[in-house]
Amino acid sequence: MTPRPLTEPAFLVLAALADRPRHGYGVIGEVEQLSGGRVRLRVGTLYGVLDRLAAEGAIEPEREEVHAGRVRRYYRLTGAGRQVLETEVARLEANARAVRGRLAVRPA
Amino acid sequence: MSPLEERYRRLLRLLPEPARSRWADDMVETYLAAATTDDPEYAEFGSPTPADRLDVLRLAVRLRLGAPGASLRAVAAGRTVRLVALTGGVALATQGAIGLATTAWVHGLVPGVPAPPLPGPLVAAPGAVLAHAVDVLLVALAVCLVRGAATARPLAAAALIGLVLATTSRLGGPSAVPAVLSLVTCAVTLLAAVLVPAERVPRRDRWLVAVPALVTLLAPVVATAGWVAARPLDEPGPWLLALGQPTGWWAVALVAVAAAALPRPSTTAAGRLGVAVLGVALLPSLAGQLALDGVAGYRAVVVTGLVLVAGTVLLAGASGARRVRALPAGDHA
């Protein structure tokens, strides 16, 4: 069965964790940067996505740090999560290549 | 703990377990980091914004309806709502399609089929155009529900708003009470479709689409057969009148499905609760039929239907609730 394409928030959250573990607020900032300021995740949306990705084994908690008297949890991409992200990137690249090919043909 | 942190913690009590234990502390930290980065004093006097409240409410609903990682009970609740949305949505869409086809026929818009002879010019009832627009939305909604398209939720919301407006235009008229009661029936299904994200219906569950569609189609078939068979001065019998409208067939189908499914141990909690919720939704429409008192004995038929459906609701609801209570409250699906 072909895996379902990731939703944009899930794709960007996985992408935000691709280079290093991040905490919730860090993920929001990274997603905003990755999307060129277009996507600013709301906290509830972020944790809905994290909940789903954790249940699917794509991310996991990495460590906890105390920050201003409160616990801050960092998340990292798992091997399965990296695979999901790479598959999605390949799918998007294939689509983009196909469309670019069509755009190169100027209508008569 | 700052006043702002306390307010966020109070807001996050909306989340169900086990998600609250898993995420609430970290969510508070993220909310506070986002809220106080630019203005540290905000921790003293600030409070969650309306957008934050709506955001948490949406997450709470999603988790209670069995989003991935939710508890087994939440998954059962989600499946119940999805079942109600799908079967109720298909039934309403079939009714809408029948209404659209009838209107097209009466106006001579069906190619090859002449319009029926009418005693006078056609006068549109108040809100008729809006009601037809809602019918189109309902048909589109059913297609989206079956295919699992995300458009189902906005379509359900639009159909619900349209139905409320169409019903409002009938207030004050002779059919106001049945119209409002019928709105309640439709609203249950449409709210279910708004709440739960659509999922493509697997092949093995296609009967959940076929049964409500076929059952709803029986009403015009019976009505037409009765009309063809009756002599001009005959009054239709009360049972024929009841089965000449979808509500009557929906009641018969609900009781029949419950009689077949409830004794089977393999019927899931969601299946049982789905029957109960659909029955609750049907009761107002059935009660609205009491207002149609033109045919002798019709009220007795409607009361019989009400008693049977109410009994089905009680049995299905009780057995479904027992099954849900037997599920562990905190375990993941």
User: What is the pLDDT confidence band of residue A17, given thresholds at 50, 70 and 90?
Assistant: very high
Phi and psi at B26, nearest 5°, equal -70, -35
Helices within chain B (DSSP H only): 3-11, 19-36, 42-45, 50-64, 72-106, 128-147, 152-168, 176-195, 207-229, 238-242, 246-261, 269-288, 298-326
**Residue B17 · residue B330 · CB < 8 Å:** yes
Which among A42, A48, A56 has the least Cβ separation from residue B62?
Answer: A48
- B84, B189 contact by CB (below 8 A): yes
Nearest by CB to B30, which of A43, A48, A51?
Answer: A43
Residue B38 has pLDDT above 60, yes or no: no
- Give the model confidence (pLDDT) of B312-330 as tens digits: 999 999 999 999 888 776 5
Residue B230 is predicted with a pLDDT of 65
Q: What is the per-residue pLDDT for A1?
A: 42
Which residues of B fall within a CB distance of 8 Å from A71? Answer: 25-26, 29
CB < 8 Å to B59, chain A: 44-45, 47-48
Tell me the Cα Rg of chain A: 16
Q: How far is A101 from chain B (nearest CA, A)?
A: 29
Distance from C-alpha of B267 to C-alpha of B254, rounded to nearest angstrom: 15
Do residues B5 and B32 make contact, with C-beta atoms less than 8 angstroms apart?
yes
Minimum distance, in Å, between the CA of residue A104 and any CA atom of chain B: 32
pLDDT at residue B235, rounded to an integer: 63
Question: How far is it, in rounded angstroms, from Cα A56 to Cα B166?
Answer: 44
Calculate what percentage of chain A has a pLDDT beyond 70. 95
Nearest to B29 among A24, A50, A52 (CB): A24
In which band, very low, low, confident or very high, does the pLDDT at B113 lie, cut at 50, 70 and 90?
confident
- CA B248 to each of CA A73, B43, B224: distance values in angstroms, whole numbers, following the listed order: 57, 59, 15
Chain B: closest CA distance from residue A108 (Å)? 36
Q: Helix B72-106 vs helix B128-147: angle between axes, to the nearest 10 degrees?
A: 140
**Mean pLDDT score across all residues of chain B:** 85
Q: pLDDT band at B87, cuts 50/70/90? A: very high
- For residues B275-290, average pLDDT: 93
Question: Is cis: bond before B18, omega within 30 of 0?
Answer: yes
Res B92: pLDDT: 95
B256 pLDDT higher than 90:
yes
User: What's the full length of chain B, in residues?
Assistant: 333
B55: tokens are: 């955001």
pLDDT digits 0-9 by tens, B135-179: 999 999 999 999 988 899 999 999 999 999 988 887 877 778 888
Residue from the list B26, B32, B68 with its beta carbon closest to the beta carbon of A73 = B26
Q: Are A45 and B55 in contact (CB under 8 A)?
A: yes
Q: Is B153 on the interface with A (CB under 8 A)?
A: no
Residue B40 has pLDDT above 70, yes or no: no
Listed residue (A23, A71, A76, A80) closest to A46, CA to CA? A23
Residue B233 has a pLDDT of 53
Domain, as residue range, for A65: 8-104
Q: Which two tokens stand for residue A46?
A: 């972020």
pLDDT (tens digit per residue) in A27-79: 999 999 999 989 999 898 898 899 889 888 999 998 888 877 778 899 999 99
The Cα–Cα gap between B208 and A86 comes to 37
Residue A3 maps to a domain? no
pLDDT of residue B121: 66
Of A46, A51, A67, the CB nearest to B67: A51
- Give B-chain residues touching A67 at CB under 8 angstroms: 29
| C-alpha span between B236 and B246 (Å, rounded) | 16
Residues of A in contact with B26 (CB under 8 A): 23-24, 47, 71-73
| Residue of A28, A43, A72, A73 for testing the chain B interface, max B β-carbons within 10 Å | A43
Total tally of structural domains belonging to chain A: 1
pLDDT in tens, B196-252: 877 888 888 888 899 999 989 888 887 777 766 665 556 667 676 767 778 888 999
Alpha-carbon distance of B11 to B201, in angstroms, equals 35
Q: Does A35 touch chain B (CB under 8 A)?
A: no
- What pLDDT, on a 0 to 100 scale, did the predictor assign at position A12? 95
In a domain, A2, yes or no: no
Label residue A64 left, alpha or beta by phi (over 0 means left) and psi (-120 to 50 means alpha): beta
Q: What is the pLDDT of residue B173?
A: 75
Identify any residues that bridge with A60 across adjacent strands, giving them in sequence order: A76
pLDDT at residue B304 tops 50: yes
Q: Which two tokens stand for residue A89?
A: 């990137």
Q: Where are the domains of chain B?
A: 18-39+50-64, 72-326
Q: Which of B2, B29, B52, B64 to mutate to test the interface with A (most CBs of A within 10 A)?
A: B29
CB within 8 Å: A24 and B59: no
pLDDT surpassing 50 at residue B67? yes
Cα B304 from Cα B310, distance rounded (Å): 10
Give me the amino acid identity at A18. A
CATH of the domain at A87: 1.10.10.10
| Highest mean predicted confidence (pLDDT) among B18-27, B152-161, B287-296 | B152-161
Question: B268 is written with which tokens?
Answer: 């899931």
